[in-house]
Amino acid sequence: MRLPKLLLFIVLFCFVFLSGAQIQAQETNEKADAKQAEPPSSVKELKPVTTIDPLVPLDQLRIMVRPLTKDELQVEANAWFELLRNKSRQIAAARLGVKKTNEAIATNDDQQALDSLKKAESVQHMADEKARQTEEELTKQAQETLGVDVAVDAARPDPAKAEEGTTASTEEKSATTADSTSTPDNPTTTQSAEAMKAAFLQNINRLQDERTALSDRLEVVLTSLAAKGGDVETYRKYIAAVSGLELDTSDASAAWSGIKGWFVSKEGGQRMGWNLGKFLLILFLTWVVARIGSTVISWLLERKVRLTQLAENLISGTIRNVIYLVGFAVALTALEVDMTPVLAAIGATGLVVGLALQGTLSNFASGLMILINRPFDVGDVVTAGGVTGTVKQMNLVSTNFRTFDNQTIHVPNNSIWNGVITNITANKVRRVDLEFCIGYSDDFEQAEQIIRDVLADQELVLREPEAVVVTHALADSSVNIVCRPWAKTTDWWAVKTAVTREVKRRFDQAGISIPFPQQDIHVYSTDASKGNGKIETVSK
């Protein structure tokens, strides 16, 4: 019994020892992780520097953030984010103030209306004071870090003073309302509420412009932070959530004030109009550059490189389309569209698209091989991919044929390159192959002479190379005479039809027949009474 107890004791000892070691290792790892997650003392002591002027021009801000490190940019992003968040709180307070003034206008109780106006003024005052303190604190930190003291430009309004002025005017209106409500049914309360509402609406339009300006500056910092490996997704989601024009459809006057204020504001309608003008101007310049660029490329390829017309059209067309694509992307940036997610999505889906378009990529490769080997050109009559027609156009995926009955057929380049390509009009001179059949009872030498005379009378038949007219076969039903004149490729069809018509006409005049296919059948019959056989020949 001692041995099992000893084994049990050893097992329990090992379990306790391993558990303690695991707990100690876990605590060590947690301390190491906490120490690693804790920012270094130098990072803790970092203070923002770009917020020394909340209205700093964007081009200057881009220069200021360029040399900053990732940790420094994180501090700058937090500072600008704090300014943006307080500005959004001010807008929310102003909107709440509009709601409270609507309650004051709608109610018949003067005391309740006065309470609503006081609440609206109090909420706005708290938001303005918080924003002012935050801006002063961040500006002071930047001044202390840089060791400078920036005075407020006299020509530019101070946001803090503007907020104080708005708050003061609201307090005065509230005091006036309190004095004027000493008697029941005093219409001054409604008038004061309407005046306060107008002030709130005007303040909202101003605050929205300031919010847009802060969003632009925060975006500059975020762009630099993202380029240096920082996480900016949360910031950008907040910007998207608080940006834009908000309209209260339940309040017609507030909605109209918002629309009118957006159209006349520099950060709203004027900015959108200017961006739209730049968008259209960039598109027009892109069109001009694409036309000029494709023309110059076509001239260089034709005069200097000497490629086929098919290759010239494809290269110039591709360059023109690339210029259009780049110009459109640049034009979208004029509308303040961020192309980074689009480019990232294109890169991420590139592999999937490549796997899904294997057939298209095969056609692309075949198109390149056709351009390199140049088996045909625009205007050539070609038999390829089971189609015979004139080549009209080619891209890197398919070739456009125009058949002789005026059909347009698009043939994949892979089908063309993997098959036999016959270029009918590749050479300037082409032989016309004709064959005429006469009866066995006709004079074949006379027939040959008639054919030679017909060829001599045809102006489109070339004298060099010399035409061949010779009897070459004794067929089942006829004597076959080969006629092989030469003509220009452009006159091939005309020579073929003209010679055929004239030979038929002269054969008829000379009494030379063109026999129908016939077959002689020999029928053997036996006379049983006489024992003699009889042969009958029937032509069919």
Q: What is the pLDDT of residue 305?
A: 66
What is residue 333's three-state secondary structure? helix
Own/partner pairs for 269-277, CB < 8 Å, 24+ apart?
271/212, 275/334, 275/335, 275/336, 276/335
The yes-or-no verdict on residue 167 having pLDDT over 50 is no
| Domain presence at residue 43 | no
| Domain end point (choices 340, 356, 372) | 356
Question: Can you give the three-state secondary structure of 240-290, one letter per residue?
Answer: HHHCCCCCCCCCHHHHHHHHHHHHHCCCCHHHHHHHHHHHHHHHHHHHHHH
Q: Could you read off the pLDDT of 188-212 as tens digits, one per residue? A: 667 777 777 777 777 777 887 788 8
Q: Are 96 and 120 in contact (CB under 8 A)?
A: yes
In a domain, 484, yes or no: yes
Q: Are residues 250 and 373 in the same domain?
A: no
Q: Of the candidates 153, 136, 159, 152, which has an alpha carbon nearest to the alpha carbon of residue 82?
A: 136
Determine which helix (DSSP H) or strand (DSSP E) holds 90, and give its type and residue range: helix 70-106
Beta bridge partners of 536: 523
Distance separating alpha carbons of residues 46 and 141, to the nearest angstrom? 10
Q: Is residue 20 part of a domain?
A: no
**Residue 266's pLDDT band (cuts 50, 70, 90):** low
* Model pLDDT, residue 133: 83
Residues 393 and 467 in one domain: no
Cα 533 to Cα 152: distance, rounded to the nearest angstrom? 137
Residue where a domain terminates, one of 371, 391, 423: 423
Q: Which residues pair with 390 in a beta bridge?
A: 381, 402
CA distance 146 to 234: 29
> Chain-centre distance of CA 113, in angstroms?
56
As a whole-number percent, the residues of the chain with pLDDT over 90 amount to 18
* Together in a domain, 99 and 220: yes
Within this chain, do residues 241 and 364 fall inside the same structural domain, yes or no? no
pLDDT confidence bin for 454, thresholds 50/70/90: very high
Tell me if 227 is assigned to some domain.
yes
Residues 365 and 440 both lie in one domain: no
Alpha carbon distance 325, 317 (integer Å): 12
Q: If 0-12 CB within 10 Å is exposed, 13-18 middle and 19+ buried, where does residue 466 land?
A: exposed
H or E stretch covering 95: helix 70-106
Q: Predicted confidence band at 185 (pLDDT cuts at 50, 70, 90)?
A: very low
Question: Closest by alpha carbon to 71, among 233, 228, 238?
Answer: 228
CATH of the domain at 472: 3.30.70.100
Residue 250 included in any domain: yes
Kindly state whether residues 83 and 179 are assigned to the same domain: yes
What's the rounded Cα separation, in Å, for the pair 407 and 422? Answer: 19
Number of folded domains that form the chain? 4
What CATH number is associated with residue 299?
1.10.287
**First CA to last CA distance, the chain:** 120
Q: Are 451 and 401 members of one domain?
A: no
Q: Check whether residue 81 and residue 215 sit in a common domain.
A: yes
Looking at residue 338, what is its pLDDT?
66
Comparing C-alpha atoms, which of 363, 361, 364 is closest to residue 415?
Answer: 363
* pTM, full prediction: 0.48
Domain that holds residue 451: 429-510
DSSP state of 491: G
